[in-house]
Amino acid sequence: MEVEIHDLSGSGAGVGRLDDGRVIFVPRTAPGDRVRALVVHEKRRFVRGRLSARLVDAPGRRTAPCALYDRCGGCQLQHLEYAAQTAWKGRRIAETLRRVGEIDLAGVPGFDGEAVEVEGSPEEWFYRNRVRFTLRRVRGGRGPDGGRERPVGPDTGPVRPPRVLAGFHEVERPNRIVDVGGECRLPEPAIGQAWAALRDRWGVEADRLPAGEELQLTLRTAVDGVVLLIEGGGTRDRAGRAEAERWVEEIEELVAVWHRPGAADRFELLAGDPARTDRWLGEVVPVGSRAFLQVNRGLGERLHRDVLEEVREPDGLRIVDAYCGVGAWGRSLARAGASVIGLELDADAVEAARRDAPPRLTLLRGRVEELLPDLEDPDLLLVNPPRAGVDAAVTDWIRERAVERVIWVSCDPATLARDLARLGPGWEITRIRGYDLFPQTAHVETMVSMRRRPTDATL
């Protein structure tokens, strides 16, 4: 059927409307496109379609540079010029806050009446300092498209599909894996080089990696190289550790290998030095095995700097840094004279944050909603939750306690809108800004600075 695309969904798929009123989602389309789409999934209120032909191209469309883009789900917006991507993300933030949270941004610095200002990434490509691949060992003779081996002639015999697929989930069929080698344009160059070298060395059926039908392989950069994190499979024996040590020795970019077996809670070091660090705004930050830092180094540091500027004069302030990870903000603020309490659930991140922490930074491990009630009211609360947002108990605590200022950083406009709406009318947004930490994808980071309204303003 022919469809006019008028918007993009939160996942980056084009949105149109059928004659019967139902919404149709078509990946790889853009507002202004007129397309022919094949229905692949049908529900009472919506339809999912597959792009069959483009009849009229939208302004801002381009040919995607990646050869895998038609199938690979690692990116969603490569078919849009970069300026069109950031413009849409600014509109998405504003529209989501209005629609989900009924939040009016009129007059707020950083909002132009239609969209939130979005800072673009210094690098549109090769910007990710952390990439997570899925490795799946193919069983039952199935090929990369899920089909079985097919005889092609009496002389050649069957076409034998690869035994191992390693890459990203397919865009329209996320249960399948698209094999990704050196084509990907997202990782920093050192990660791409380490990935290619690792693929060359993991052996037939990846038998030099831990056993198991599916593994998660994450590569992340540190100051002096790339760290490999392996999740899944069984515990490594002496031979497995020796293999990891060979990789560190032979792969120039690789400096450490960690493994978390399927039944384990924490990673164990297989090879290399555990004391790996990264550098953010002059702070040497331990990265360990699971430490969280923004994936976009250039723009992540800009966001970090803007948050510190929003704090204004940290000397003497009492600050709670919720969901603090390795404590990058807390370290900077403590060195500037603030007394900071960092809250973090992940044990590895807390251990890394405590390493060489400045005296004014205290780290507490646990769920934020369980730790907050035992703390004194801070002058300022920093909130940087995961994509799922915060527990309702966190917004209840903010409403009920004498916290005057909050700086909120979110990677999902929908959960941000929900959480800010829970705070109620007692809070005023004093600044908002978006950051395109994830070019070519539908994700966007948002910083919101808020202060409590005077009591009589809420009556």
CATH number of the domain bearing residue 57: 2.40.50.140
Domain shared by 156 and 272, yes or no: yes
146: DSSP letter: S
Domain shared by 55 and 101, yes or no: no
Domain shared by 135 and 32, yes or no: no
43-81 as b/e: b if 16+ CB within 10 A: eeeebbbebeebeeebebbeebebebbebbbbbbbbbbe
Per-residue pLDDT, 156: 43
pLDDT tens by residue, 350-368: 888 888 899 999 999 999 9
- Residue 75, in any domain of the structure: no
Residue 389's domain spans which residues? Answer: 93-124+294-458
Q: Which helix (H) or strand (E) holds 192?
A: helix 189-201
Contacts of residue 275, Cβ cutoff 8 Å, sequence gap at least 6: 286, 355
Per-residue pLDDT, 347: 86
- Residue 235, in any domain of the structure: yes
Domain shared by 119 and 143, yes or no: no
Domain shared by 43 and 152, yes or no: no
Per-residue pLDDT, 57: 95
State the total domains in the chain.
Answer: 3
Domain shared by 315 and 429, yes or no: yes
- Residue 78, in any domain of the structure: no
- Through-space distance between the first and last CA atoms of the chain, rounded to whole angstroms: 53
Q: Is 365 exposed, middle or buried (0-12, 13-18, 19+ CB in 10 A)?
A: middle
Per-residue pLDDT, 44: 87
Domain shared by 353 and 240, yes or no: no
Per-residue pLDDT, 353: 85
Neighbouring-strand partners of residue 3: 35
Per-residue pLDDT, 287: 67
User: How remote is the C-alpha of 146 from its chain's centroid?
Assistant: 27
Name the pTM for this structure.
0.90
- Residue 157, in any domain of the structure: yes
Domain shared by 252 and 165, yes or no: yes
Q: What is the CATH number of the domain that holds 422?
A: 3.40.50.150
Q: Which two tokens stand for residue 88?
A: 């849409």
Domain shared by 314 and 454, yes or no: yes
Identify the CA nearest to 116 among candidates 411, 450, 448: 448
- Residue 68, in any domain of the structure: no
Per-residue pLDDT, 422: 96
Q: What is the CATH number of the domain that holds 202?
A: 2.40.50.1070
- Residue 76, in any domain of the structure: no
- Residue 159, in any domain of the structure: yes
pLDDT tens for the chain, 459 residues long, are 999 999 999 999 999 999 999 999 999 999 999 999 999 989 889 999 999 999 999 999 999 999 999 999 999 999 999 999 999 999 999 999 999 999 999 999 999 999 999 999 999 999 999 999 999 998 654 444 444 433 333 444 455 555 899 999 999 888 999 999 989 999 999 999 999 999 999 988 898 999 889 999 999 988 889 999 999 988 877 778 899 999 999 999 999 999 999 878 888 899 998 777 777 666 777 666 555 678 998 899 999 999 999 999 999 999 999 999 888 899 999 999 999 999 999 888 888 888 889 999 999 999 999 999 999 999 999 999 999 999 999 999 999 999 999 999 999 999 999 999 999 999 999 999 999 999 999 999 999 999 999 875 443
**Which is it for strands 225-231 and 254-260: parallel, antiparallel or unpaired?**
parallel
Domain shared by 210 and 326, yes or no: no
Per-residue pLDDT, 393: 97
End-of-domain residue from the set 13, 41, 61: 61
- Residue 53, in any domain of the structure: yes
Domain shared by 388 and 412, yes or no: yes
Alpha carbon distance 81, 64 (integer Å): 9
End-of-domain residue from the set 220, 251, 278: 278
Domain shared by 113 and 175, yes or no: no
End-of-domain residue from the set 278, 303, 328: 278
